[in-house]
Chains A and B, each alone.
Chain A
């Protein structure tokens, strides 16, 4: 490739990247504008105010909503990773009859994504008496074959000698899992942890149908109903939106490598 062509391609990529990023930037700067200026069409605010954020937090219990989202996302992430890594270890490393068939069954549930079975799931959770509770928000979100699948792919690549040695030393399977396999899976576990946290922090449809209680409102639901309440006050709506997005943006900049790795793994294997 000639230098000129390379330079042109770089410039093109840069322009497109800035264009793709522009809406996010626009949201953040608009949330810093006073009410009268929010539609002024400038990227850089004339007056910078944090009043919109103060208003959002005082007008509705946004801190509570953030806490709800945090608790739900964190618990789902931790429990899911624990259960999935155990199941994946067994599916990848232990030999037992029906292993491949079981994996195929688990894998095939990936094609049926949650929203499509939303109604029967709602009925099941209602029968279990878990509607309008943290359990109802948390437990159904744990079970997803995606994590099992990725972890199994990872465990298939581990050298067998490691666990053979441990077994010869008299370790049971639990010890092998706990002391050999888990420490080795740190990279994929941290990537998946961020991925799960992200997905649960951003989830909307399930909390929408599974909860009514204002005390259980998660942040995504909160901004959606905030929007209908404050219909035209874009400065407040965008401030609320920024508050909901901020933890993910911070997480993204902190753990970009892990997030990108988890996306890559999900596509490659």
Chain B
């Protein structure tokens, strides 16, 4: 490291008049050396992570686009087909159906998850006895894997013996084949996803709510503002950064995170009603070996996701996201 440091500062020497090797005053030489040592240290500190990210994140991102122009057959034969995969996508009703299902999924899930977790966040912000236990109970499902969650709800949603239908029948309603009926399967998957994730976003909302100074509410109360006015004039505007974060994260999570639930709960069925784009892409690639075609669809999905993120960013004016204080 020291060796390189010296080599680098010497190489840079001609640009700075006073730091010629051998004949330098201690002041400038040391400053230059220190700065360059800092650059090199930074390089060494970052290199392993940067290399890994480049190979396992950056390269795949680029490759995703490259692969989309090839027809790839099972064991590594690549044939350039230009926009062939994209043309094929245009004519593939199942792809469009999967994008439509993803759209419905996101449009129903994201607002529902938002409202439920904000509601829970407001409830568990109360300083009441037992609230710590309640927070724990709401948050707990989040630590369970989506595969286990899928199995658990498959058991609960079972037509005949599931506790959901047993409960409905006990209450005098008819049972329903929640996962077996194409008109309800997607909404059942959404309900399960909300159940898993609501505790996570509840905590994030809670953290945002706790940043709002209590004095604001006290002042509002003195002015005679009711709970609704307090929410509308204090909580809602001051929570905007958190809301932005939750919207963005849950949209990305919804587009990509439905996979395990669909895999375990419905396998895309019945009648393809839960075949989310991410699931359809997985099937094309790893069941049918269509890596090129699946990459083309993946690329379109990434673009759609970036568009969504951009739209959310615009609509909420970004909130505070990075450290731009």
Q: Which residues of A contact B (CB under 8 A)?
A: 1, 6, 9-10, 12-14, 16-18, 20-21, 23-24, 26-27, 30, 39, 41, 83-84, 86-87, 89-91, 94-97, 99, 102, 106-107, 109, 111-125, 139-140, 142-145, 148, 153, 156, 172-174, 177, 198, 201-202, 204-205, 208-209, 220, 223-224, 227, 234, 237-238, 241, 244-245, 248-249, 251-252, 256, 259-260, 263-264, 266-269
Across the interface, do A109 and B58 meet the contact criterion of CB distance under 8 Å?
yes
Across the interface, do A220 and B147 meet the contact criterion of CB distance under 8 Å?
yes
- B220-266 interface with A by 8 A CB criterion: 227, 242, 245-246, 252-253, 255-257, 259-260, 263-264
The digit string for B187-230, where 1 denotes a CB below 8 A from any CB of A, is 00000000100111001101110010000000000000001000
Docked Cα-Cα span, A102 to B246, in Å, equals 25
A–B Cβ pairs within 8 angstroms, 28 of them: A6-B126, A21-B138, A23-B141, A23-B156, A27-B152, A83-B49, A89-B45, A95-B38, A109-B57, A109-B58, A113-B252, A115-B259, A115-B282, A119-B64, A119-B298, A123-B60, A124-B55, A124-B56, A143-B49, A223-B151, A238-B151, A241-B148, A241-B151, A244-B145, A248-B143, A248-B145, A259-B143, A260-B203
Judge if B136 is at the interface, Cβ distance under 8 Å: yes
Judge if B86 is at the interface, Cβ distance under 8 Å: no
Docked Cα-Cα span, A95 to B211, in Å, equals 31
Judge if B131 is at the interface, Cβ distance under 8 Å: yes
Judge if B90 is at the interface, Cβ distance under 8 Å: no
Across the interface, do A173 and B207 meet the contact criterion of CB distance under 8 Å?
no
Judge if B7 is at the interface, Cβ distance under 8 Å: no
Judge if B316 is at the interface, Cβ distance under 8 Å: no
Task: Point out the residues of chain A lying under 8 angstroms from B92, CB to CB.
Answer: none
Task: Point out the residues of chain B lying under 8 angstroms from A84, CB to CB.
Answer: 49
Once A6-B126, A111-B306, A119-B64 are accepted as A-B contacts, the answer to whether A90 and B155 lie under 8 Å apart by CB is no
Docked Cα-Cα span, A86 to B198, in Å, equals 33
Across the interface, do A10 and B53 meet the contact criterion of CB distance under 8 Å?
no
Closest to B200 in A: A263
Judge if B123 is at the interface, Cβ distance under 8 Å: yes
Across the interface, do B144 and A20 meet the contact criterion of CB distance under 8 Å?
no
Judge if B185 is at the interface, Cβ distance under 8 Å: no
Task: Point out the residues of chain A lying under 8 angstroms from B64, CB to CB.
Answer: 116-117, 119-120
What distance in Å separates the Cβ of A20 from its nearest Cβ neighbour in chain B?
A: 5
Judge if B112 is at the interface, Cβ distance under 8 Å: no
Task: Point out the residues of chain B lying under 8 angstroms from A140, CB to CB.
Answer: 56
Docked Cα-Cα span, A227 to B264, in Å, equals 9
What are the nearest 4 A-B pairs in CB distance? A267-B204, A202-B145, A39-B161, A120-B63
Most chain B CB within a 10 A radius of its CB, from A87, A107, A174, A244: A87
- For the complex with contacts A94-B39, A202-B146, 17 further pairs of A-B residues with Cβ separation under 8 Å are A6-B126, A16-B138, A30-B155, A86-B46, A102-B50, A113-B252, A119-B64, A123-B63, A139-B52, A204-B147, A223-B151, A224-B263, A227-B264, A241-B152, A245-B148, A252-B143, A264-B206
Judge if B294 is at the interface, Cβ distance under 8 Å: yes
Across the interface, do B195 and A20 meet the contact criterion of CB distance under 8 Å?
yes
Across the interface, do B49 and A148 meet the contact criterion of CB distance under 8 Å?
yes
Closest to B54 in A: A143
Across the interface, do B199 and A20 meet the contact criterion of CB distance under 8 Å?
yes
Contact check: which of B55, B155, B158, B305 meets A116 at CB < 8 Å?
A: B305
What distance in Å separates the Cβ of A66 from its nearest Cβ neighbour in chain B?
A: 13
Judge if B139 is at the interface, Cβ distance under 8 Å: yes
Across the interface, do B285 and A119 meet the contact criterion of CB distance under 8 Å?
yes
Task: Point out the residues of chain A lying under 8 angstroms from B94, CB to CB.
Answer: none
Judge if B186 is at the interface, Cβ distance under 8 Å: no
